[in-house]
Amino acid sequence: MAVRELTIEPITRIEGHLGAHVKIDTDARKITDAYVYSPMFRGFEIILQGREPSEAIMITQRSCGVCPVPHAYSSAMAVDQTYKVSPPPMAVALRTLVHGAEQLYDSEVGVVNLEGCDYSETLVKKFNPDWWEEAEKTKAERADIHGYEKISDIMRALNPFTGELYVQSLLMQKNGHNMAAIFGAKHPHVHSFVPGGISKANLSPSDFEAYITLLTRHVAFSKKLVAATDDLLDFVLEQGYEEVGTREANLLSVGAYDDPEQYSAEYSDIGKFGKARLVSPGVILNGELVTTDLIEINVGVREFIGRGWYEDDWEQEFSTDPLGNKIEREHPWNKRTKPKPGKYGDWASAYSWVTASRWLKDGKNHVVELGPLARMWVTAKAKLVPESTGNSLRFELPASPVPGLPAEKLELEWKIPKKPNAVERVRARAYYNAYTAYCMLKTVEKGLELLKAGKAEVWTEYKRPKEGIGFGAIEAMRGACMHWCVMKKGKIHNYQYHAPSSWNLSCRDPEDQPGPVEAALLQTPITEVGDAAAWKGIDIVRVIRSFDPCLGCAVHIHVGNRVVKHELLPYPSP
């Protein structure tokens, strides 16, 4: 067996700094071992110690400029519980509208500008030229919706900086930012989320009118996005790409888009209002739905140090949650962040600043995947919303008279795929864009109903207690965003949060189980043409980008007094 080791770092077209080290059996053209790692420590959880819990809402957003709102929302939810203050229904609706606006722009940038480039004319011609020859001959089935006659036209539209879809997506993202700012004051890093509600003064119907005007553009664009993505990815699968990025169907979603009149700051109520979300919470193990209860999801969370560069010597302060359910020493209400820098590139030992988050069920620590595929799969299977059939999500987007984009109403159905893989993660993100547009139409309608009924209050007055505990969870674009707060003497005693990539990019755990991205890379076939010694790793980055990684921003890494650089996967000329 001839083996080639390949390191790609930094991986581009993601948020933050990430590297991957893989071993490839060049005879079999398959990956035999894989490690993904982040070489940068940030320490937000340490920064928060000793501050008032309300400050976490603003500070944790700064962990990301791409998806700050889920951090604001999850933190606000955790602080609502810590302070024991429930927002009025209108505040919940407005928080959701801000959240949905970000999800719309974020899914577009993921599908088109980050992941779509890997299937553009520019890269396909270089790395899979046989695909290009076939794409030039293949008609696009949904051309009447998206307007591209052949698959090659879709690939050309995805060319970075010059392709029509690429540029349209960039312009559409501005609408998402502007929508979020209507009720969030600004974006990124919204300023209106506060304990007990949202700081939006002088709310009027014109605010909703401005929001829905921009939302209509997203509705129209999402029709084109889904149709073009379906045609492109169906073609990619036909080229034999089904096994790229596969792993078992172990998935977790915490749900999103709250019912304004169900949300509550009581921990005991999160199971109830979680099931009322338009995107369902739940865990799927080996393809089977095992729970839809947010309380059970929270109780099962464990964060091991694993192969991460951290100390593992904290004390267990809590043995149960507020309802008496047993929690482990590794649960975030107990866990502490204690950095312990280690040797770079030591794959047999610690190798990353990302820990090993796992979900405990029946005595087993499960490696679960987060993201659009997880939440679409859970929502389709759970049958908690009318759009769920048990095997699919079926919904209709209304007419959307936007020049240059599909105007007719369109019925869409996302179907649970055979297995998770690189292609289906991208497809799920496109459909989630459309489903989010659909959910925001429903939320705008609910907000106007509340306004008409005179329920315009956006904040609940409260008196802050001295002690408290809270858990907040909402879906970010890349998956579940979860925050945990422990307050003592009016200050943060312990604060932990998980971004989606805390799970997807996790390192090996104490049982040596690889994280979701590492597992998806294992046994992935290499389709790249040319001599093995010249492979750049296009299949590797397609798998990794299908998870849309989001880590803290950095440009390079330092080891001692050296700057470590690796060859980047280039953008070749067409």
pLDDT band of residue 122 (cuts 50, 70, 90) is very high
> For residue 209, is pLDDT > 60?
yes
> Hey, which bits of 132-278 come out as E strands?
193-194, 197-198, 251-256
> For residue 554, is pLDDT > 70?
no
Short-list 551, 442, 515, CA closest to 67: 551
Residues 6+ away with beta carbon under 8 Å from 523: 30, 31, 32, 243, 246
Question: What is the rounded distance in angstroms from the CA atom of residue 188 to the CA atom of residue 168?
Answer: 20
Q: What is the mean pLDDT of residues 203-217?
A: 97
Residue 38 lies in a domain: yes
Name the phi and psi angles at 496, rounded to 5: -130, 145
* Tokens found for residue 89: 């229904």
Q: How far is CA 103 from the centre of its chain?
A: 9
> For residue 558, is pLDDT > 90?
no
- The CATH number for 288's domain is 1.10.645.10
Helix axes 372-382, 422-452, angle to 10 degrees: 70
63 close to 71: Cβ distance less than 8 angstroms: yes
Element (H, E) at 358: strand 356-361
Short-list 224, 216, 246, CA closest to 154: 224
Question: What is the rounded distance in angstroms from the CA atom of residue 209 to the CA atom of residue 73?
Answer: 23
Residue 530: C-alpha distances to residues 87, 134, 135, 500, 570 (Å): 59, 19, 20, 35, 16
Question: What is the rounded distance in angstroms from the CA atom of residue 220 to the CA atom of residue 215?
Answer: 9
Residues 30, 35, 39, 44, CA torsion sign: positive
Q: What is the mean pLDDT of residues 62-79?
A: 91
Q: Which string of DSSP letters, residue by residue, matches 184-197?
A: HSSSSS-S-EETTE
Element (H, E) at 484: strand 479-488
Q: Is the peptide bond before 10 cis (omega within 30 degrees of 0)?
A: yes
Helix axes 164-184, 205-238, angle to 10 degrees: 150
Residue 118 lies in a domain: yes
Name the phi and psi angles at 459, rounded to 5: -155, 145
Short-list 520, 500, 496, 518, CA closest to 509: 518
**Above pLDDT 70, what percent of the chain?**
96
Q: For residue 16, what pLDDT is reported?
A: 73
* pLDDT tens-place string over residues 246-257: 999 999 999 999
* pLDDT tens-place string over residues 40-64: 787 889 999 999 999 999 999 988 8
Q: For residue 362, what pLDDT is reported?
A: 96
Residue 432 lies in a domain: yes
* Tokens found for residue 259: 């019912």
Mean of all residue pLDDT scores within the chain: 94
* pLDDT tens-place string over residues 521-534: 999 999 999 999 99
Q: Is the peptide bond before 39 cis (omega within 30 degrees of 0)?
A: no
Residue ranges making up the domain that contains 161: 3-564
> For residue 355, is pLDDT > 50?
yes
Residue 572 lies in a domain: no
Q: For residue 94, what pLDDT is reported?
A: 98
Residue carrying the six token digits 């590794």: 330
Residue 571 lies in a domain: no
Residue 574 lies in a domain: no
* pLDDT tens-place string over residues 360-376: 999 999 999 999 999 99
Helix axes 89-108, 422-452, angle to 10 degrees: 150
Q: What is the DSSP letter of 119?
A: G
Element (H, E) at 289: strand 288-291
Determine the residue type at 409.
K
pLDDT band of residue 562 (cuts 50, 70, 90) is low
What is the distance between the terminal CA atoms of the chain, rounded to a whole angstrom? Answer: 34
11 close to 541: Cβ distance less than 8 angstroms: yes
pLDDT band of residue 573 (cuts 50, 70, 90) is very low
* pLDDT tens-place string over residues 141-162: 999 999 999 999 999 999 999 9
Residues 50, 55, 60, 65, CA torsion sign: negative
Q: For residue 66, what pLDDT is reported?
A: 77
Residue carrying the six token digits 């500070």: 59
> For residue 560, is pLDDT > 60?
no
Q: What is the mean pLDDT of residues 110-114?
A: 96
Question: What is the rounded distance in angstroms from the CA atom of residue 182 to the CA atom of residue 522?
Answer: 44
81 close to 470: Cβ distance less than 8 angstroms: yes
Residue 569 lies in a domain: no
436 close to 99: Cβ distance less than 8 angstroms: no
Q: Count Cβ neighbours within 10 Å for each residue of 413-447 and write b for 16 or more, e otherwise.
A: ebebbeebbbbbbbbbbbbbbbbbbbbbbebbebb
> For residue 553, is pLDDT > 50?
no
Considering its fold, how many domains does the chain have in total? 1
Question: What is the rounded distance in angstroms from the CA atom of residue 412 to the CA atom of residue 142?
Answer: 13
> For residue 307, is pLDDT > 90?
yes
Residue 465: C-alpha distances to residues 49, 264, 358, 510, 519 (Å): 17, 17, 32, 38, 44
* pLDDT tens-place string over residues 248-284: 999 999 999 999 999 999 999 999 999 999 999 999 9
287 close to 249: Cβ distance less than 8 angstroms: yes
> For residue 574, is pLDDT > 70?
no
* Region label for 404, one of left (φ > 0), alpha (ψ between -120 and 50) or beta (otherwise): left
